[in-house]
Chains A and B, each alone.
Chain A
């Protein structure tokens, strides 16, 4: 269907949830109350590594209002360990404590205040063990093993090929090589090498993790702030040895996610406590506890690139090390993807990639918007600028020369490039005024990046029900975390069915009601769930037309639906009339089913990339040379969305992503002192604030309807985070001549670099 003929898709219709959200009527897990609800609080380890000697819980158990005090051994579970990649994480620390902040004892009481008060009475005796609180320490020859043995979880097909390195703390090792490296290095006119560092981050979605769990005759029901209701159901079924059907995971609106709510977190604990006290239990974490639950990987990248004098890339070597903390969570996949994506969106004949996911005694690291791309892009794109500088080339020209073209393969066997990367980068450069003269003390920089979008080997199923009154229910398991997926799915349904947008309702994910969905992550929902919903809507449409045909004395093929009216020449019936006409009563319905089944691939990911999510960014900055403060004056972000289902929400996703990227670029980082998180809360951990909004923040949407999704759509939402740091870093270099290799580019780091430069020492990357 050509874009100009679209009536609902491609329009900036208001969000379905907008009204509830501005009136305070929107309900989140943290707003849920149940009769007899009990409240849980968690005692967390103050030390990063220790052997538990004993947990003394009697005094806490005797405190007012306390219903139960549980250590690992007291949990009524069949299986204590969980995790999406490895079953390496205990619901409560068992025998060994592996990070500071790890839950060791849980208290359940009639009120949160009573639970909190009783926590102070918990006493845990332990013997400290030497801790490895950085990847370097954990990789050292003498480092002790944080997990002597690990068991594969077997939840996800693409994780069946995990390759830990036995006898080390490496829980996943991704290696890829092509071409003749030795030759490439010989042939090169220039070889540059650098080490780049990206800090661990806290997601700080504004709604902290919250779970309400209830156990009754029908089994287990869990209301959770999760992006992955179905994988969570699977883990809970394993933990309690229940059939999937006996576990119900419900996800109302959630207050932000950004990857921090991927996979299973506190759901098993809340469920186990509910089973223990035989009352519904609420476990609401504080923001500081969130920061001790999941983080973004701190990553170091050693990257080396060989080029010819004219800027043709010959070879790239990347050694990527990710600190995944005490439990793997989804770290192994993040490492694989970081490795897969490390070379960048360029034509590079020769590659050697090595990515290691390393256990440490830090807070577990998992998914975070961009999934490894922002970290490797900081390295790769910063190095592209070093190359341009050394060869005296325009950074834009250097990139355009090497960017992959539509139809080219990134990796042999994987889906060819489905977009026009050069167009995006050129539009970005134009928008920032790349060739315009610069005021003194200012600089400009740009960057581009790409990730395999949609998740590897993921699937979705959807049901579209047309009710007897013509209204439509969409049953889809995609989680509304703010990205506007419900609105997008409603638009796709209305467009496909030919019914008014206002007549479509999208249900909240409920594993007992909505069909299977792999999860809301990897920018996949609009494309993959979108395709499932579109297919379900087509199915329903065909069924309703088949019902209408006899009523309108016609072949189904002669009929059209628009605005809920089915027309044959001059005769018209509403969808409602057709359905009630068919069933002979004011009732009945037509239900369509659709699903997306992933394709195969011989590529190194072990699954076909659904679409390529590309992002470009350009920054203009002014630098205060005395304080080192970087002022971001202008930021342009471009996203290839194929076809925007809702242009306003697409742009909003990209703006939000770019703004989030400003954090780690300029000031955001977790401070870890020997395993102790020094800035768990928002007083000492700075996230972007209103005052950080640059005078100009623009998003360019590239729309060539060339995506595999409905109406040519591609996923969006992560790409805006990719390029912010390298674009600002390169702008800093143009403004001052100094180049930083470690994020964030805090005023002090910039000031030190400027001072070192004045003292004549070279910036690190050029040493």
Chain B
């Protein structure tokens, strides 16, 4: 499932780019993320993301790897994690681009999310909606953080 969100942030491009590398704070923008750890600076991180749809609760220990960096405009990361309780698997390919806009900086978040295993049987509609919602909240949170800062 592919989701794209673009927000314009009232902050200079460099500020936005640097924020992307402030991993703990960036991860803070991912709904339900905690325990962010740096395994290898600018390469590998881990975090635990917990989320729920009504009574259906999942908890993914995620491994986040930086796939490609084109400073200061493009960052591609891949996150992987398995929930053993419900035997579910998430894969997220995140493609973040930062481009100058008239009123600041345009942050484009393109996510390709797959929910595999048993969790997939929860229902396509629910997963599509959830994925969209998460990307939405992530983009909004990044803006909020930066504009609060600015």
Contacts and interface: CB of A to CB of B under 8 A. Distances in A.
Q: Do chains A and B touch in the complex (CB under 8 A)?
A: yes
Interface stretch (B46-54, B117-125, B129-137): B117-125
Interface in B91-150: 114, 116-117, 120-121, 123-124
A673 B127 CA distance: 13
Contacts of B84: 120, 123
Given A46-B116, A674-B114, A680-B121, 4 more contacts: A288-B121, A673-B114, A676-B114, A676-B116
B87 interface: yes
B9 to A, nearest CB: 31
A413 interface: no
Interface string A38-59: 0000000011000000000000
A681 B117 contact: no
Interface string A81-105: 0000000000000000000100000
Q: Chain B CB within 10 Å — which of A123, A671, A674, A681 has the most?
A: A674
Given A673-B1, A678-B124, A680-B121, A100 B87 contact: no
A251 B38 CA distance: 58
Interface in B68-96: 84, 87, 89
A515 B40 CA distance: 67
A341 B123 CA distance: 39
Interface in A668-697: 671, 673-674, 676, 678-681, 684
A684 B125 CA distance: 11
B56 to A, nearest CB: 16
Contacts of A680: 121
Nearest to B123: A684
A47 B120 CA distance: 12
Contact of A678 (B87, B89, B117, B120): B120
Contacts of A288: 121
A674 B84 CA distance: 22
A47 B116 contact: yes
B124 A684 contact: yes
Contacts of B114: 673-674, 676
A681 B121 contact: yes
Among A123, A288, A678, residue most surrounded by chain B Cβ atoms (within 10 Å): A678
B120 A676 contact: yes
Which 5 A-B pairs have CB atoms at the shortest separation, nearest pair first? A46-B116, A46-B117, A46-B89, A678-B124, A676-B116
Contacts of A46: 89, 116-117
Nearest to A48: B116
Nearest to B89: A46
Contacts of B123: 684
A673 B87 CA distance: 19
B63 to A, nearest CB: 12
A645 to B, nearest CB: 44
A99 to B, nearest CB: 12
Contacts of A679: 124
Nearest to A288: B121
A671 B120 CA distance: 13
B129 to A, nearest CB: 15
Interface in A651-674: 671, 673-674
13 contacts: A46-B116, A46-B117, A47-B89, A47-B116, A100-B116, A120-B84, A120-B87, A288-B121, A676-B114, A678-B120, A678-B124, A680-B121, A684-B124
Contacts of B117: 46
Contacts of A671: 124
A288 B118 CA distance: 11
Contacts of A673: 1, 114
Contacts of A681: 121
A674 B120 CA distance: 13
A676 B122 CA distance: 14
A369 to B, nearest CB: 27
Contacts of A100: 116
A753 B89 CA distance: 37
A575 B84 CA distance: 69
Contacts of A674: 114
Nearest to B88: A46
Contacts of B120: 676, 678
B76 to A, nearest CB: 16
A684 B1 CA distance: 17
Contacts of B121: 288, 680-681
A673 B114 CA distance: 9
Interface in B1-23: 1
A100 B116 CA distance: 9
A683 to B, nearest CB: 8
Contacts of B89: 46-47
A679 B120 CA distance: 9
Nearest to A43: B87
Interface string A264-296: 000000000000000000000000100000000
A119 to B, nearest CB: 8
Interface string A383-413: 0000000000000000000000000000000
B101 to A, nearest CB: 32
A107 B89 CA distance: 21
A125 B116 CA distance: 15
Nearest to B80: A128
A684 B123 CA distance: 9
A678 B87 CA distance: 16
A363 to B, nearest CB: 14
Interface string B25-59: 00000000000000000000000000000000000
Nearest to B118: A46
A46 to B, nearest CB: 4
B132 to A, nearest CB: 15
- Interface core residue of A671, A676, A681 (most chain B CB under 10 Å): A676
A557 to B, nearest CB: 69
A679 B127 CA distance: 13
A731 to B, nearest CB: 31
A515 to B, nearest CB: 45
A171 to B, nearest CB: 27
A681 B116 CA distance: 15
Interface in A340-355: none
Interface string A112-135: 000000001001000000000000
A46 B120 CA distance: 10
Contacts of A120: 84, 87
A733 to B, nearest CB: 31
Contacts of A676: 114, 116, 120
A410 to B, nearest CB: 44
Nearest to B84: A120
A684 B124 CA distance: 9
A601 B116 CA distance: 49
A34 B116 CA distance: 36
Contacts of B124: 671, 678-679, 684
A678 B117 CA distance: 10
Nearest to B86: A120
Nearest to B1: A673
A766 B84 CA distance: 52
A678 B125 CA distance: 11
Nearest to A681: B121
A601 B84 CA distance: 58
A547 B123 CA distance: 70
Contacts of A684: 123-124
Most chain B CB within 10 A, of A46, A671, A678, is at A46
A682 to B, nearest CB: 12
Contacts of A47: 89, 116
A137 to B, nearest CB: 16
Nearest to A100: B116
A46 B87 CA distance: 9
Contacts of B1: 673
A674 B89 CA distance: 14
